[in-house]
């Protein structure tokens, strides 16, 4: 008799506040014999910090350590190639547990399918194994809540943009947007801030670092030091207020 395979479970654990994990995610987390999490070298990781207090002694922890993060690599090394190979290897490691009949919960800060690293395992494994994804509160919603900024009114549309885009692309997309969230700031902040000034949106733009985390920081956009803006920061340009 063939052994039943384990389930691949993508768990969104929220933007940072440990109380913003869903009841379902918490249940599946506690029930999973293996808990996998992405982490940078030498770090514990934000997602792990959110769920650490809920872990059971019998659970197997499976850190998936990124070989690189945001550092500039010398030629001929390619970030895309290195990170793709890493996801290939990580998926094989997870598959070994699944083949042995063990469920693997892969925790993901925010939501697994919203810029979440889990999605790269899902793309590689979900066709061969039973997979379940539990949505989580994503960072832009956590940011809107702590900023007290309604995102979109009535029939407005929301654009979610990456700060990595070129100035020209950002400008074009922002000019077409009713409301916008700009993520992946960090070293891209000066470029993004300049585009917001050029499009006349700087006055509406709101900035927050590490929304809902213990070290959350809200700063006027004009006062942000571009050298200290972290990866976990975002800018919200709320839709024009509608008085219904």
Peptide bond into 230 cis (omega under 30): no
Cα separation, 242 vs 244, whole angstroms? 6
At a CB cut-off of 8 Å and minimum separation 6, what does 117 contact? 38, 108
Condensed to tens digits (0 to 9), the pLDDT of residues 145-174 reads 999 999 999 999 999 999 999 999 999 999
At a CB cut-off of 8 Å and minimum separation 6, what does 146 contact? 208, 211, 212, 216, 218
Query: With 0-12 CB in 10 A as exposed, 13-18 as middle and 19+ as buried, what is 135?
Result: middle
Domain 140-237 has what CATH class? alpha beta
Strand partners, 208: 218, 234
Mean predicted confidence (pLDDT) in 57-75: 80
Domain boundaries, the chain: 8-137, 140-237
Mean predicted confidence (pLDDT) in 132-138: 97
Predicted local confidence at residue 73, as pLDDT: 54
For residue 243, pLDDT beyond 80: no
**Inter-residue contact 13 to 117 (CB < 8 Å):** no
Sheet holding 179-183, edge to edge: 158-162, 179-183, 233-237, 206-209, 217-218
For residue 54, pLDDT beyond 90: yes
Mean predicted confidence (pLDDT) in 57-80: 78
For residue 82, pLDDT beyond 60: yes
Cα separation, 129 vs 9, whole angstroms? 10
Cα separation, 97 vs 200, whole angstroms? 52
CATH superfamily of 8-137: Tetrapyrrole methylase, N-terminal domain (3.40.1010.10)
**Inter-residue contact 21 to 14 (CB < 8 Å):** yes
Q: Do the domains 140-237 and 8-137 match in fold?
A: no
């Amino acid at each position: 008799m063939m052994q039943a395979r384990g389930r691949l479970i993508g768990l969104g654990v929220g933007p940072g506040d440990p109380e913003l994990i869903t009841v379902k995610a918490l249940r599946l987390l506690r029930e999973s014999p293996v808990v996998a999490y992405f982490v940078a070298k030498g770090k514990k990781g934000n997602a792990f910090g959110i769920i650490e207090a809920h872990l059971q002694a019998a659970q197997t922890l499976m850190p998936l350590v990124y070989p690189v993060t945001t550092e500039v690599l010398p030629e001929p090394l390619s970030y895309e190639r290195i990170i793709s190979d890493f996801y290939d290897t990580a998926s094989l490691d997870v598959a070994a547990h699944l083949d042995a009949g063990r469920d693997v919960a892969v925790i993901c800060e925010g939501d697994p399918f919203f810029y979440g690293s889990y999605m790269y395992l899902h793309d590689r494994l979900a066709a061969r194994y039973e997979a379940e994804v539990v949505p989580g509160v994503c960072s832009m919603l956590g940011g809107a809540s702590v900023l007290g900024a309604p995102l979109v009114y009535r029939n407005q549309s929301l654009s979610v943009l990456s700060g990595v885009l070129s100035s020209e692309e950002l400008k074009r997309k922002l000019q077409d947007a009713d409301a916008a969230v700009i993520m992946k700031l960090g070293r891209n902040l000066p470029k993004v801030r300049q585009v917001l000034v050029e499009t006349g949106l700087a006055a509406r733009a709101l900035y927050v670092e590490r929304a809902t985390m213990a070290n959350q920081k809200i700063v006027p956009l004009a006062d942000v030091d571009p050298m200290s803006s972290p990866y976990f920061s975002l800018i919200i340009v709320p839709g024009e207020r509608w008085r219904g």
